[in-house]
Chains A and B, each alone.
Chain A
Amino acid sequence: MTTQGHGPSAQQTRAVPESAKRGRRGRGGRGEFSMVPEAEFSSYYGRQVVKESPWEADIPAYLFSGGLAAGSSLLAAGADLTGLPLLRRSGRFTALGALGFSMVALVHDLGKPSRFVNMLRTAKLTSPMSVGTWILTGYSPFAGLAAAAEVADLLPARVQRGPLRLLGLAAKLGRPAGLMAALTAPPVAAYTAVLLADTATPSWHEAYRELPFVFVGSAAAASSGFSMITTPVAQTGPARRFAIGGALLDLVMEHRMEQTMGITAEPMHQGKAGKLMTAAKWLTAGGAAGSLLAGRSRTVAVASGAALVAGSVCTRFGIFEAGQASARDPRYTVVPQRERMRAAAAANGDQPADLDHAPS
């Protein structure tokens, strides 16, 4: 069924607000959102112009778990180099678990899962999904080897020398594999922002300048939060600092992103996406604040860690849902494009042309 309201010749008398222009500040402070006036635009019976992605919960879950894996590999390598064995162990296991989950989610999303390997038949720089597949292919073996070394480490020495000598070898490869995993991890956390931004979905594409920073910040916060749940406080000092830094980057860049997105920031404040984004802000900020005190109490550490993890989940789902909503409403496709045309016409000193083709 179609929505009522914008018939093909529907005239809405309210004009595009100043706040809808790129780069202008148009929001009230303190996370308050003031509804801007409706922009005047035409549509075909209110039907959407671009199609929303066919992705379901798999993809935001994949965005989250990829970030969790990448951040955990970084924490594990740092812990390995600075002599924090428990943080190293939880980091390596979390990285492998999250990676396994993300691969399942990714394959589950495919319309033809049996053809997953078709992504390995080509490497295409213009496709973030192709680039991401190769990034994951480069990262996964190292993350897996680092986790295997951790398993070997847990076995008694007798077993390591006995029939499972291969595992003993893996234990020796733990550090180089872990360091390689840490070096290949950051692209895993960052490319997913390009994956969303490189589309015609208004609220994703318009976010392309800041979204990578939001996502790496979210990855740092989630992985640190998870390690605060799994590791005793005596070994999570660096993770707490990583958490606070990540949460700050996430929150600051998310705020800046909304400033530069014009009207395509609106879906982030409405409906399901709005609720998720609000929850994400509070959980991330609360988790970061709790991290300041988490060195003294395991209870506080677990609660803060859980808040950071939940905040990251809400961020990924919120951004995802906002994009889906922006694609379903023709307003977010048509109005910014009309604005761009007007701006271009003004820059050329033309009157806004009603005709695309002037006889020459």
Chain B
Amino acid sequence: MGEGIRDELTEQIINDLTIQAATVNGSGSQTANLVLTRAIFHMGIPVAPKNVFPSNIEGLPTWYQLRVTPEGHMARSDKVDILVAFNVATWREDLKTVRRGGVVIHEEAFSTADVRSDVVYYPVPFAKLAKSKIQSDTLRKQLANMIYVGVVGGLLGIPWEALEHAVRRQFLSKPKAVQVNLDAIKIGLDHWQDNFSKQDPYRLEPMTGAVDGRVLVEGNQAAAIGALMGGVTVVAWYPITPSSSLCENLIAYADRFRIDPKTGERRISVVQAEDELAAVGMAIGAGWAGARAMTSTSGPGISLMAEFAGLAYYAEVPVVIFDIQRIGPSTGLPTRTSQADVGFAFTLSHGDTKHIVLLPGTVEECYEFARDAFDHADRFQTPVFVLSDLDLGMNLWMTPEFKYPDKPFDRGKVLSKADLERLAGDWGRYRDVDGDGVPYRTLPGTDHPAAGYFTRGSGHDEFARYTESAEVYQQNMDRLALKLETARAALPSPVVDETARSAVGLIAFGSTHAAVVEARESLAAANRPVDYLRLRALPLASEVVEFVSRHERVYVVEQNRDGQVYDLVRLAVPAHLVDRVKSIRHYNGQPIPAAAITQPLLESEAVPA
């Protein structure tokens, strides 16, 4: 290490650092990462973990980034403070990612010839320690990662109590594993204490008040809880990363909360379908018959669902479709994140089709939007897409504890037997009685001679009778458009923060939110505050146009190549405002960091517009 660096390092850096563990997939590293995360969280310090994993079961490199900030920043950081290098295959590349003055904990056996001189090294003989101290051959591989938790604990001053808590929490369902894991952590901790003296500035200190009332939840867990509380009773799905964990969690929760302990009856039916065509078809069949039904998938599955989505739109059948976005086109990068299905999902299917799309931007919204999606679907008798993504769905996020729903289910305009008696059978399935485009429906099984009707994806009149009439077709399409207009006003409205009173505004949605929050803070700190509109649903709310009209330049920030929402915003604003709308895009599959917003924004703003 050069002398200059040593001088720079005299000032302590407390609770503000990013740890990156570079390990090998399938080696048990994820458990170690989670224990470290929970231990730091238990100290009252905000954490933001991001798991970057390969489409592979065992052997390929994987990284876990754990960002710690006193402010609770949740976006990915592009600067690594502490590297834990466990994977010889990526060692050289990983080393390049560490910031000047950062820390490198690495397997002692890795070659250190010609390495950087501007970082602090702590070589640890992980393999030797595991071999000599862990007797069980079967456990050794898994526990080896746990040793690094002990080393990092020593390095940063994590109290033993926090580590112990984290291990117990991690192994709630496997209490037998607690002691062996603690023992492995102790090996690392002892090794640190016996062999190293601290040469770096990084420290953790317990905080109070920063994470009160917060829990750590993955977006897919949150959505599963939301679906459960939203009253889902029929779930059909086909496995695909990064969506599988949504239904898998839902199944686990349903096993706990939806089985009648006396009769063994299940108040939910979950079908693992043969493909996504069948999955969405089952959900639509169930929605038609009156159940709250859903499916969950990712890009390739959404592609397969296109035809059925059009049927549900045109025949007006409620259904909730989760799309946990990953990178496309095609199989793309199956374990990397993106927001590139927005445009496709919005108009999924042939013909003039348009859908309600909910865009949760936080884990709390994953819960709330999943729950409320069933109300929207029932109320507007149409598919509702909930677009999350891999970053939001598969990473743990700090979130306020979820609120218990304060409303009963809204089952929409469903006519009962008594309603039909009152109407003396004067009822048309697709008649717009209320002028809001939303007709009344009956459910199969309703015991009234006028209840039955024939649902079809072909042309139909107000009484659901087949017709090829030009006028009737057009009227029906206009009513469907009106229905979406009605829905637009009922969907979650944008969250607008104009406290900056700036000429420049940002528009973003979904998981990009975390990076925007941080970008705004750093822009404000640099005397360049910007206003912000966070979009939460499609079709675009009217507030979007108003927001653009109040700002001279508005940057739409999104995680796709083509600026899909940028296009929608430009289409929505009047011609004289179109040029105000600019685009910032991030689409390399890694969650967007704040710098990916501030840099292009400052560059663009430096040039007179």
A binds B: no
B-binding residues in A (CB < 8 A): none
